[in-house]
Each structure stands twice: as C-alpha cells, then as structure tokens.
Amino acid sequence: MIHQLRSVAIFLFFLLGAFPINAQKEPPLALVGGTLFVSPDAPPMHDAVIVISEGRIKAVGRAADVGVPPKTRLIYCTGKYILAGFWNTHVHFTDAAWNNAAIAPADGLERHMQEMLTRWGFTTVWDLGSFPANSLALRQRVESGEIPGPRILLAGDIFPKNGHPVYLPPEMQLPEAATPDEAGQMARDDLKMGLDGIKLFTGAFMGNKPVINMDTAIVKAAVDVAHAQGKPVFAHPQNAVGVDNAIAGGVDILAHTIPSAPGYTAEELARFKAQNTALIPTLSLWTTVNSDSKVTDHLVQSGVDELKAFSSNGGTILFGTDTGFTNIYDPSLEYELMHRALNAREILASLTANPAAYFHASKQGRVAKGMDADLVVLDADPFGNIQNLTRVAYTIRAGKIIYQKH
C-alpha cells in the first residue's frame, strides 16, 4: 500500500507541476507608521515604512526617508509592530480537514489553514509527516494562489523495521526500512516525488514494549542520499539511543526534545555543536502525553532543561509545535514554555533568522531591501510580553495578505 501511495504522489507531482504558478501581479503595498524589528537583535525602527512590489521588499526606512510610489495600497501600522514572517518547522497536514486536498472546496481548506497556521503569523512551515499525495496537492493549490497559505516544505518519513508507533493507527501502513539499502531507496523515492527532506524515526514508541531504535547504518544510508541532493534530515528520537544513532548517522535536526531521558550528555552536546545539529523543542507536546499532572510537570521541565542546555551550548533552535499531530493550534503555550529557557530575542530568532539561515533561505528571516516580502504585523510589542507574538493583525507572504484580523 505504501508503495502505491508513493507512486500516486510521484504521478501527482509531475501532473500538478504542469500547471503554472499563479503569476498575477499584486499592486504595490506599503506598511506605514509601525515599529519595525529588522531582525531579532536589531534596535526598533519607529515610524517605519516598508514598500513591497512583486513579492519583494523594495524599500525600508523611516517615513521621512522613504517615498511611497503612487497607486500603492497602504496599510497604516501606527501602534503596531512589524517583523519578518514566522517559520513553524514542525507541523503535520494530517487533520481530517486536509483529506482530499486536491479536490476539497477551497474555502474550507482556507479556514483550516487560518485556524492552524496563518492567523499565528506563519509564512513558512515544514510538514514532518503526512500523506505525500495529499500534501503535494495542497501545496500546489497554495502556490497557485487559490488557497492563502504559507510556503510548505515537506519531509518524507522512514521508520525502523517493526517500529509502528502505538499512537498511529495500526491499519496505517508505514515505510519501514529493515536495511540500509531499503532506507536509501525510500529516501530517493521521497525526494524524486518532490519532497524537500527526510524524517527518520530513530526511535519508535511502542507503549509498554521497549522502544525500537533505528540502526545507525540505516540512518546513515538515508542521510547520505538526502545530503547528496542538498536536502536536510530530521530525526524523531525516543530515548538516548535514538539520539546517539541520529548523531552518528549525521542527522541535521532533532524534531523533539526527549524529556523522558536524563538529559543530553556533555559528549552529545559536543557532537551537536561540532555537527551543527539543530533542535526543535516542541515543549507544548509534553503537556498532552500523560494525564498525571506531576508526570506532565516533570516532562515539561525536563524538556525546558534540555532546551536550555542545547541553546547555552551554542546550538541552533528552530521553532516548532507538532501542530496537526496535536490540536494545539495556538502557539501561546509553546512561547510560554520556551521563555523559561530563552529570552524573547532568542525565541524570535527561532521563528525567523535561525530557520532562514539553517535552511539557506537567504531572502527570508530579515526585513530588508531585496528580501522576500514575508512579514508579520503584531498589535503589541513582543518584547514587552512574549504572548504578544500571537496578537497577529496581518500575515503577509510574498507581498500577499494571507491573513487579516477582522
């Protein structure tokens, strides 16, 4: 069944690729009068003007210094705060609302996209596991302009042999690799169909049974294929063995902290730094996995401690919530928990500059002339209260408004 799904996805990739992306020109747009944070570590620029045309930022500066071309649409931002567009590097398009994305009515998909992502300022997301045929179709409809949404990057999943996690439906057939050759072929198939990276379950949670970890040779085989094509590899570890096998295999990004483990060792932290491994904390996920409040508090604090150790060691932090797997769409809790380990500028960097640099998106992550016009307009200062990151007035991707608060 899984091979049939991959074949369908490859067919859809080439079929949908035959349709041109909507190239209709948007009229010039200018954000006028707000407080601009060019980057997470830059001082605020008051009474700023950002002029946008053809999906790019054409001019940035103070109102006294920047002229606005005639016939430009103006958005008055007095009392508001402007930042680069946010990334969420761990989402899933697996909700029932995404079913039949190729043919489902656009208005329903748009509503759910807004509820889950665009109303929170996300202009780029990484989907770390869904049905490729469905997600490729969704991405094509977003890119055509039919459905307002973020830039969608997709990763294909590979599991260890017999490593079907207990939280996934038992009838769901998963791509399980028993050998390095199988893992390498699965990675090639995923990238051939148009996916942007690979996610390896270096540890699969089996409930009351022992975790099934992915052998390092299998990890390395998939990593080698992805890296040969310049694509990143994410790892989902479940315990320290899964972390160590991911490191040894050359994985780029840890998709979660592992709060059930004792914490990262000094040797692991040194390897992370040497290999430029990045971390997606997903701290709010740990509030959903146990009904015992004491256990939950322990898991959350353990995740916070791991985040603090990783960041203090100089590691790259990428924001991600696992939304779609969980139904926690509002990122407020994730911001609150991350703020126990990081300051506001570090959290903002995890949303903007860090992912742009890590994934070599050189035209994103900052607000400057020539950059992609991916922007978030907030109603309140995020440095005054971290929860203000959720008070989104506008989300703008490539110069198009994909969310506007009513």
One domain, residues 283 and 297: yes
Q: Report if pTM > 0.85.
A: yes
Predicted local confidence at residue 406, as pLDDT: 82
Please report the pLDDT score of residue 27 as a whole number.
82
Asked, for residue 243, whether it belongs to a domain, the answer is: yes
At residue 10, does pLDDT exceed 70? no
Decide if 137 is inside a domain: yes
Q: Are residue 141 and residue 261 in the same domain, yes or no?
A: yes
**Residue of higher predicted confidence among 170 and 90:** 90
pLDDT greater than 50 at residue 16: no
Report the pLDDT averaged over residues 111-121: 98
Cα–Cα–Cα angle for 4, 189, 360, nearest 5°?
135
Looking at the fold, whether 56 and 188 belong to one and the same domain comes out as: no
* Residues 197, 232: Cα–Cα separation, whole Å: 5
**pLDDT at residue 7 is higher than 90:** no
* Dihedral sign of CA atoms 384, 115, 298, 90 in order: negative
Cα(80)–Cα(199) distance, integer angstroms: 38
Per-residue confidence (pLDDT) for residue 18, from 0 to 100: 36
Q: One-letter amino acid identity for 344?
A: A
Q: What is the mean pLDDT of residues 102-118?
A: 98
Do residues 102 and 50 share a domain? no
Q: What is the mean pLDDT of residues 354-368?
A: 98
Would 263 be classed as within a structural domain?
Answer: yes
Cα distance between residue 83 and residue 39, in whole Å? 7
**Residue 160: inside a domain:** yes
Residue 63 covered by a domain: yes
Q: Alpha-carbon distance 242 to 173, whole Å? A: 22
Q: In terms of domains, do 78 and 91 share one?
A: no
Instruction: Answer whether residue 19 is part of any domain.
Output: no
Same domain, yes or no: 139 and 60: no
Only one residue has tokens 């997606």, namely 280
Please state, rounded to an integer, the average pLDDT across all residues of the chain. 94
pLDDT tens per residue across span 303-344: 999 999 999 999 999 999 999 999 999 999 999 999 999 999
Please give the tally of structural domains in the chain: 2
User: Residue 331: what pLDDT?
Assistant: 98
Q: Is the pLDDT of residue 13 over 80?
A: no
Give the tens place of pLDDT for each residue, 236-295: 999 999 999 999 999 999 999 999 999 999 999 999 999 999 999 999 999 999 989 999
pLDDT at 23 over 90: no
Q: Give the CATH number of the domain where residue 279 resides.
A: 3.20.20.140
pLDDT, one tens digit per residue, over 140-168 is: 999 999 999 999 999 999 999 999 999 99
Q: Are 79 and 90 members of one domain?
A: no
The angle at the Cα of 153, spanning 393 to 271, to the nearest 5 degrees, equals 105
Specify if 24 maps to a domain: no
> CATH code at 383?
2.30.40.10
Angle CA 342–389–235, to nearest 5 = 55
pLDDT of residue 26: 73
Domain boundary among 358, 375, 391: 358
Radius of gyration of the chain from its Cα atoms, rounded to whole angstroms:
21
pLDDT of residue 24: 53
252 shares its domain with 219: yes
Two structure tokens written together for 272: 């992370």
Q: Same structural domain for residues 75 and 101?
A: no
Q: At what angle do helices 216-228 and 240-249 cross, to 10 degrees?
A: 40
Do 350 and 371 lie in a common domain? no
Does residue 16 lie within any of the structural domains? no
Work out whether strand 73-76 and strand 56-62 pair parallel, antiparallel, or are unpaired: unpaired
* Residues composing the chain: 406
Question: 336 and 282, same structural domain?
Answer: yes
Angle at 108 between CA 364 and CA 95, to 5 degrees: 75
Say if residue 228 is in the same domain as residue 372: no
Provide the pairing of β-strand 81-84 with 375-378: antiparallel
- Look up the domain containing 130 and give its range: 2-8+86-358
